[in-house]
Amino acid sequence: MVFGFGKSKTDNKAGSAAAAKPAASPAPADIPQGQMMGLMQDWPLTVNRVLEHAAIAHPHREVVTRSVEGPIIRQTYKDIYDRARQCSTALKEDGVQMGDRVATLAWNTGRHMEAWYGTMCIGSVLHTLNPRLHPEQIAWIMNHAGDSVLFFDLTFLPIVQAIHQHVPGCRRYILFTDDAHMPKDHGIPNLVSYETYIAGKSMDVKWGDFDENTACGLCYTSGTTGDPKGVLYSHRSNVLHTMIGMQPDAIGGGVKDTMLPVVPMFHANAWGITFSAPASGMKLVMPGAKMDGESIYELLDGEKVTTTAAVPTVWLMLLQYLEQTGKKLPHLQKVVIGGSAVPERILRAFEETYDVEVVHAWGMTEMSPMGSLGSMTPEVMALSRDEVVRHKLKQGRVPFGVEMCVKDDDGNIVPRDAKTSGHLMVRGPAVAKAYFRKAGGEILDQDGWFDTGDVANLCPQGFMQITDRAKDVIKSGGEWISSIDIENIAVGHPKVANAAAIGLPHPKWDERPLLIVQMKEGETATKEEMLQFLEGKIAKWWTPDDVAFVDEIPLGATGKINKLKLRETFKDHVLPTVQAAE
Ligand code: ADP
């Protein structure tokens, strides 16, 4: 190397088209004149990197699963990596190609993780199905997605038996178990046990080596109107979301941590933990099918879990169990709670009785799903305990990688004054720009913002607080109930003129549906009659907790039901199920 003041050989438009030899790589011809390109490696952000890293950097770190069959299974990231590769080979030999949709109907387990990476890393799309939906909806979603393979857990055999004839495109079924646990006379064609499917398969299979914008995962979210909508994640969005999640003020974690994601992989990718845990080297504890207080406690205590994540309902069950048994949480340091607003009593119980930090999280499927998290700033920590609690009950601040603003009805950004509420808008590399196979797909405004359907305000310190919901859905126990589906069925009753479903507060489930009915002139009906009419047409847990009869359902200017007015009218209505839950 020659030092001097003269123009060096590489001191020009180094990586651009004008680069002197040897250039790192030829630059595209359409680079504007004068633009200088960096000379760093091209390293496509594909999710195989995550598990490849874990297999090399954290090969012995454990992945512990409470298996659906019962026993606790202990694996390592290297085991998961090896078996995921075998799964890839099995899928390829079975004819699965890049872009094919491979579905799962499964709990959080090591096997689910193997199939997850086994599918994604060969460029096929892993489609997580939500088993809490009505079987008819699951079949609809599978057909819409064009799933050709389904992995599922023993628990969900009845669902698959009910739907397989209605999903003609699905040509292969794989049960996450071994031959010893295979059911007899199941009636499902092309069904094989997972262990047999991957047994003896080669680990020598090509992963990655495709464009980072290749589709990677698919997850449907219940629509505000009409049919469920598919969010199609890319490899790049998943890798960047992993990095978002690894920030210490987000979920964080490292090799000293043990993570228990109770939040399911089938609901918004377990908040990205199936990626961020192997990336950061956290030991992973997978709860399988059991989410009751005692089962979760057993894992928290037995595996010395330091960080965990779930919707508030799960934590209510755990806290109840702790109160009944007098047990404590000596290992647990941080609990991430989201999907619904955190009730104050849960927050105070964890922090004040059990000395566990609560991080309140907000997000949505369309955001991969992390949006904001409530880790406290030094300024807030200097305030009184009640002020700290007030801030913790807000929905948190954005990590790097998420942009957020609040807009008024005219599309103007409102001030961050902790008072002015409006439409909560987000932007970022892990936020959806369109839905899968949905015509008229533009879902962003002219500045590229996605409207979350939540109504919120922001404070000068960046804490976001949800104050209402513009979208027409009910969230019960962290899962959606489509008010529109219930209404559509209810108006099918011959005596009903109009019907509306709204969510009312509930101490255990956060919200439960109330069905409001306007009868046709001269007709009457009972609550029981209405509920009976819904039976079998919706998932059982969607059944409204109460039915109210009104003379007239209020309509807005465009003829749509005025839900705001209904929510106001029924704000003091106490559901009959509330008392029993308190
Ligand atoms: P997830 O349940 O994983 O957050 P969904 O897409 O099912 O993802 O639901 C997203 C919606 O759930 C949000 O738009 C918001 O209405 C509601 N939500 C999520 N987290 C919270 C929270 N912490 N507080 C209040 N509402 C929340």
Domains parsed from the chain with CATH numbers: 473-581 (3.30.300.30)
Q: Is the pLDDT of residue 520 over 80?
A: yes
455 C-alpha to ligand 1 centroid (Å): 12
Tokens of 344: 């104050």
Contacts 24+ apart (CB under 8 A), 193-202: 194/111, 194/115, 194/151, 197/87, 197/90, 198/83, 198/86, 198/87, 198/89, 198/90, 198/114, 201/86, 201/87, 201/89, 201/90, 201/93, 202/85, 202/86, 202/89
pLDDT at 223: 55
**How far apart (Å, rounded) are the C-alpha atoms in residues 64 and 285?**
5
Q: Which amino acid is at 291?
A: M
**How far apart (Å, rounded) are the C-alpha atoms in residues 34 and 425?**
35
The CA-CA-CA angle for residues 378, 381, 382, to 5°, reads 90
Tokens 């994640």 sit on residue: 233
Q: Which amino acid is at 552?
A: E
pLDDT at 8: 43
Active site residue 475: yes
Closest CA to 12 of 3, 1, 23: 23
Active site residue 221: yes
pLDDT at 224: 53
SS3 label, residue 496: strand
Task: Write the pLDDT tens digit of every residue in 48-58.
Answer: 999 999 999 99
Phi-psi region of 574 (alpha: psi -120 to 50; beta: other; left: phi over 0): beta
pLDDT top residue among 183 and 580: 183
Do the bridges between strand 215-221 and strand 229-234 make them parallel or antiparallel, or are there none, so unpaired?
antiparallel
What's the average model confidence in pLDDT over 402-424? 96
110 C-alpha to ligand 1 centroid (Å): 26
Q: Which of 107, 140, 207, 480 is catalytic?
A: 480
**How far apart (Å, rounded) are the C-alpha atoms in residues 284 and 261?**
8
pLDDT at 477: 87
How would residue 31 be classed by pLDDT, with cut points 50, 70 and 90?
confident
How would residue 9 be classed by pLDDT, with cut points 50, 70 and 90?
very low
**How far apart (Å, rounded) are the C-alpha atoms in residues 153 and 176?**
5
**Pocket residue to mutate for ligand 1, from 267, 347, 360, 362, most atoms within 8 A of Cβ:** 362
Active site residue 201: no
**pLDDT averaged over the chain?**
92
Q: Is the pLDDT of residue 6 over 80?
A: no
SS3 label, residue 444: strand
Q: Which of 52, 195, 303, 366 is catalytic?
A: 366
What's the average model confidence in pLDDT over 258-274? 96
Q: Angle between the 273-280 and 48-57 helix axes, to the nearest 10 degrees?
A: 30
CB burial readout 553-579, b (16+ within 10 A) else e: bbeeeeeebbbeebbeebeeeebeebe
Tokens of 553: 């359902």
470 C-alpha to ligand 1 centroid (Å): 13
Contact (Cβ atoms closer than 8 angstroms) between residue 12 and residue 18 = yes
438 C-alpha to ligand 1 centroid (Å): 22
How would residue 13 be classed by pLDDT, with cut points 50, 70 and 90?
very low
Tokens of 291: 């989410």
Give whole-number Cα distances, 159 to 169, 197, 485, in Å: 17, 21, 20
What's the average model confidence in pLDDT over 286-311? 97
pLDDT at 569: 94
Q: Which of 221, 258, 306, 365 is catalytic?
A: 221
Q: Is the pLDDT of residue 16 over 90?
A: no
Active site residue 565: no
Q: Whose CA is nearest to atom 19 of ligand 1?
A: 339
**Pocket residue to mutate for ligand 1, from 133, 267, 425, 466, most atoms within 8 A of Cβ:** 466
Beta bridge partners of 64: 74, 285
pLDDT at 14: 41
Q: Is the pLDDT of residue 33 over 90?
A: no
pLDDT at 1: 42
Q: Whose CA is nearest to atom 13 of ligand 1?
A: 364
pLDDT top residue among 468 and 279: 279
Task: Write the pLDDT tens digit of every residue in 80-135.
Answer: 999 999 999 999 999 999 999 999 999 999 999 999 999 999 999 999 999 999 99
Closest CA to 50 of 283, 277, 370, 284: 277
Q: Is the pLDDT of residue 194 over 90?
A: yes
What's the average model confidence in pLDDT over 252-276? 96
Which of 123-127, 238-242, 484-488 comes out lowest in average pLDDT? Answer: 484-488
**Pocket residue to mutate for ligand 1, from 263, 364, 404, most atoms within 8 A of Cβ:** 364
Q: Whose CA is nearest to atom 10 of ligand 1?
A: 364
- Strands (DSSP E) along 8-145, which ranges? 62-66, 72-76, 101-105, 125-128
> Residue ranges of the alpha helices (H) in 224-292?
235-245, 273-280
23 C-alpha to ligand 1 centroid (Å): 48
Give whole-number Cα distances, 230 to 190, 281, 430, 436, 547, in Å: 27, 30, 15, 5, 32
Give whole-number Cα distances, 249 to 215, 338, 399, 402, in Å: 28, 15, 7, 13
Exposed, middle or buried: residue 453 (CB in 10 Å: 0-12, 13-18, 19+)? Answer: middle
Separation of CA 163 from chain center: 24
Percent of the residues in the chain that have a pLDDT greater than 90, as a whole number = 81
pLDDT at 439: 78
431 C-alpha to ligand 1 centroid (Å): 14
**How far apart (Å, rounded) are the C-alpha atoms in residues 82 and 569?**
58
pLDDT at 557: 65
N-terminal to C-terminal alpha carbon distance within the chain: 76
Q: Whose CA is nearest to atom 26 of ligand 1?
A: 340
Backbone angles phi, psi at 512, to 5 degrees: -135, 150
pLDDT at 5: 53
pTM of the shown model: 0.89
Tokens of 451: 């409207």
Pocket of ligand 1 (CB under 6 A): 221, 267-268, 338-341, 360-365, 369, 395, 452-454, 466, 469, 475, 478, 480
pLDDT at 7: 44
**How far apart (Å, rounded) are the C-alpha atoms in residues 305 and 330?**
9
Q: Whose CA is nearest to atom 5 of ligand 1?
A: 364
551 C-alpha to ligand 1 centroid (Å): 33
What's the average model confidence in pLDDT over 226-238? 93
Q: Is the pLDDT of residue 2 over 50?
A: no
